Amino acid sequence: MTPSISEEDYPVYLDKLKEYSRKYIVAVHAYVLTTNHVHLLLTPEEADGVS
């Protein structure tokens, strides 16, 4: 069973996404948050960066 989150969790998730995208130098182009999964469109700034 996949754990689900509530809409109240979305701001926390987005804060963490922002924090880690800066830490690992990853551009966030788009995201979709749902209660049971996430879609992310990301590009690392460095060729060997986090993918």
Q: Exposure string (b/e) for 27-49, b if CB count within 10 Å is 16 or more?
A: eeeeeeeeeeeeeeebeeeeeee
**48 is written with which tokens?**
């060997």
- Which is it for the CA torsion 43, 44, 48, 51, positive or negative? negative
pLDDT of residue 27: 95
pLDDT tens column, 3-30: 677 888 899 999 999 999 999 999 999 9
Which residue has 């995208």 as its token pair?
A: 21
**Is it the case that residue 2 has pLDDT exceeding 70?**
no
